[in-house]
Amino acid sequence: MILFVRDLTVIDAAYLCPHRGVVGESWLVDVELTGELNEMSMLFDFSRVKKQLKAIIDAEVDHRLLIPQKASETMIEPAAAGYLFVDFLSEEHTIHLNCPEQAFAVILAAEISTETVTDYLLTLIRDQLPGNIDGLKITLRHEHIPTPSYHYTHGLKKHDGNCQRIAHGHRSMIELWVDGARDHALEQYWATRWQDIYLGTEEDLVSVAELELSETGQELVSDQQHYCFRYTSAQGDFQLAIPKESCEIIDTDTTVELLASYIAAQLKPQLGEKELKVVAYEGVGKGAIEVL
Render pLDDT for 102-121 as a digit per residue (tens, 0 to 9). Answer: 999 999 999 999 999 999 99
Long-range contacts of 186-191 (CB under 8 A, 24+ apart): 186/267, 187/147, 187/148, 188/148, 190/148, 190/150, 190/263, 191/148, 191/149, 191/150
CA gap 21, 39 in Å, rounded? 50
**Mean pLDDT for the stretch of residues 198-216:** 98
Q: What pLDDT is recorded for position 48? A: 73
33 has a pLDDT exceeding 80: yes
Q: What pLDDT is recorded for position 39? A: 63
Higher pLDDT, 229 or 33: 229
149 has a pLDDT exceeding 80: yes
Question: Please, what is the Cα angle at 52 between 48 and 58, to 5 degrees?
Answer: 140
**Mean pLDDT for the stretch of residues 182-205:** 97
Q: What pLDDT is recorded for position 129? A: 80
Question: Are 197 and 174 within 8 A, CB to CB?
Answer: no
Q: Residue 34, Cβ neighbours under 10 Å: how many?
A: 15
Q: What pLDDT is recorded for position 45? A: 67
Residue 202 DSSP label: G
CA gap 227, 116 in Å, rounded? 30
CA gap 254, 249 in Å, rounded? 10
249 has a pLDDT exceeding 90: yes
DSSP 67-134: EETTSTTEEEEE-STTEEEEEEE-SS-EEEEEEEGGGEEEESSSS--HHHHHHHHHHHHHTTS-TTEE
CA gap 271, 164 in Å, rounded? 35
Render pLDDT for 39-81 as a digit per residue (tens, 0 to 9). Answer: 666 666 667 777 888 999 999 999 999 999 999 999 999 999 9
Q: What confidence category does residue 286 fall into, taking pLDDT thresholds of 50, 70 and 90?
A: very high
CA gap 176, 187 in Å, rounded? 6
CA gap 172, 197 in Å, rounded? 12
Per DSSP, what are the bridge partners of residue 51? Answer: none
Residue 9: half-sphere exposure toward Cβ, Cα within 13 Å: 19
97-101, 128-132, 183-187: range with lowest mean pLDDT: 128-132
Higher pLDDT, 37 or 149: 149
Q: What pLDDT is recorded for position 171? A: 98
**Mean pLDDT for the stretch of residues 260-277:** 96
Per DSSP, what are the bridge partners of residue 291? Answer: 277
